[in-house]
Structure 1
Amino acid sequence: MNVDAPCRVLVVDDNPFIRSGLTLALEASEEIEVVGEAGDGRRAVELARELVPDVILLDVRMPNVDGIAAAAVLSEIGRVIMLTQVDDPEVVLAAVRNGAVGYLVHNTFTPGELAAAVVETVRQRAHPLSQAASAALIDAARTDRATAPAAVDPAEQRKRFGLSEREAEVMDLIAQGHPNSTIAAKLFLTEKTVKNYINRLYAKLGAPNRSTAIVTWLGMPPRG
């Protein structure tokens, strides 16, 4: 997209009051244009195909077609950020596996932070992940590992993916849910250096985004 053009957003939620509130909050930013609203996954897919938005903000629990099912189709059209009250680990994982590049839980961000997350998702290919969603991914990973025949050895994981010691440190902090700024401060690095490490980590882990990298690093087996 044109970096000077507003980010085009489709808001999808079955609650009309939430949709209106999100639209008002997002359009307060000059960098965002809300191009449409939908109340269920089926209508969201219809509108997305027509409007081709940059970002789809997508609720989980909706009539007709729910957000998890819709994400599989919508993620082929634009960048899907789940925006929901639901922080169940299995739901978070299902959304990620269906192509969501971010997962935000209501009441964990300000309107300004939401707008910034939308813009960064498009312009910096960022992957917004709330602390609740990050914790859900980690908890689910630990559950999988606890029931697996053998625990995953962190040293073996590092060797498996060919990571340097520093790269492993960065990945551990990502898996704990820390943003780039915190990782930079903890490791005495610049944010630009952290971003460079993260890009290398994505390549080595074969992960398209932050949340998928967490799942992969924590040793969770892929599911269909």
Structure 2
Amino acid sequence: MVVDDNPVVRSGLTALLEASGDMDVVAEAGDGRNAVERAWQVMPDVVLLDVRMPRVDGVSAAEALSKISRVIMLTHVDEPAVVLSAIRNGAVGYLVHDAFTVDELLTAIRETVHNRAHPLSPAAVSALINEAKSGRAAAPPPRETPADRTRFGLSAREAEVMDLVTRGHTNRDIAVRLFLTEKTVKNHLNRIYAKLGVPNRASAIATWLGVLPG
């Protein structure tokens, strides 16, 4: 289902999705209230949801819609507070216009349905990481245990790689620090993505930091 108060945007998204060959747009809505009503009627797999709309905005509507479907925010709004509010209200992804290609959008929808992925634009990743860091700074650091290092079924080496990824290190940096080849780092990352059930680096970071719902 496509939810946006701009009819031109709705029409464009609908045409794009239906041209993909494996997606059907079962409903459209121009505001959050109508979106919830329509979602209960058609039970979509994914809702693409704008933020700023009349009557009920997207962030408010996300809470009800997330009980029906997997919600991906699709918007021009990249304010950290809005991103965090949307995620807290149940959105599983947050994509900012002009930060993704058509193919990336289609892949994000497919991965969300089939692999329960969390598609995130860079602005959303930054907001979530900053929130996680501020939350950790406010609380005493937990004592590390073996269970902490193997969450999601990651090996000790994979956990090391993932920790370096969340600190912003490139594959080359990680290879140098861990005395590995870049190809080995890439292989580790591919296994990490599979274990975390995510399609890319951004979603892996957010999932590893524990700031996204399942």
Output the TM-score relative to the length of structure 1: 0.73
Contact 2:149 2:159 in 1 (8 A): no
Contact 2:74 2:96 in 1 (8 A): yes
Distance in 1 (alpha carbons) for counterparts of 2:73 and 2:205:
12
Larger radius of gyration: 2
Matching residue within 18, 28, 43 for 2:19: 28
How many residues end up aligned between the 2 structures? 193
Question: Shift of the alpha carbon at 1:98?
Answer: 1.1
Partner of 1:136: 127
Deviations 1:23-64 (A, max 9, x none): 111111011101111010000000000000000000111111
**Are residue 46 (structure 1) and residue 51 (structure 2) matched?**
no
**Which structure 2 residue ranges, 5 or more long, are not aligned?**
175-181, 198-202
Distance in 2 (alpha carbons) for counterparts of 1:14 and 1:42:
12
Question: Shift of the alpha carbon at 1:89?
Answer: 1.2
Contact 2:125 2:206 in 1 (8 A): no
Partner of 1:104: 95
Contact 2:73 2:91 in 1 (8 A): yes
Distance in 2 (alpha carbons) for counterparts of 1:94 and 1:157:
29
**Which structure 1 residue ranges, 5 or more long, are not aligned?**
1-9, 200-208, 218-224
Q: Runs of at least 4 residues of structure 1 off by over 6 A?
A: none
Question: Shift of the alpha carbon at 1:171?
Answer: 3.8
Partner of 1:216: 210
Distance in 2 (alpha carbons) for counterparts of 1:176 and 1:39:
39
Go from structure 1 to structure 2 and tell me whether the alpha carbon gap of 1:63 and 1:185 turns closer, same or farther (over 3 Å shift).
Answer: farther
- Which amino acid letter does the alignment assign opposite residue 161 of structure 1? D
SS at match of 2:24: strand
Matching residue within 155, 161, 171 for 2:148: 161
| 1:42-81 correspondence runs (5 A) | 42-81=33-72
Contact 1:90 1:140 in 2 (8 A): no
**Are residue 187 (structure 1) and residue 185 (structure 2) matched?**
yes
Partner of 1:222: none
Question: Shift of the alpha carbon at 1:175?
Answer: 4.0
Question: Shift of the alpha carbon at 1:75?
Answer: 0.6
Output the TM-score relative to the length of structure 2: 0.76
Identity between Structure 1 and Structure 2 (%) = 54
Distance in 2 (alpha carbons) for counterparts of 1:34 and 1:130:
23
Question: Shift of the alpha carbon at 1:142?
Answer: 3.5
Go from structure 1 to structure 2 and tell me whether the alpha carbon gap of 1:46 and 1:212 turns closer, same or farther (over 3 Å shift).
Answer: farther
SS at match of 1:216: coil
Distance in 1 (alpha carbons) for counterparts of 2:98 and 2:72:
15
CA RMSD of aligned residues (A): 3.1
Distance in 2 (alpha carbons) for counterparts of 1:63 and 1:158:
49
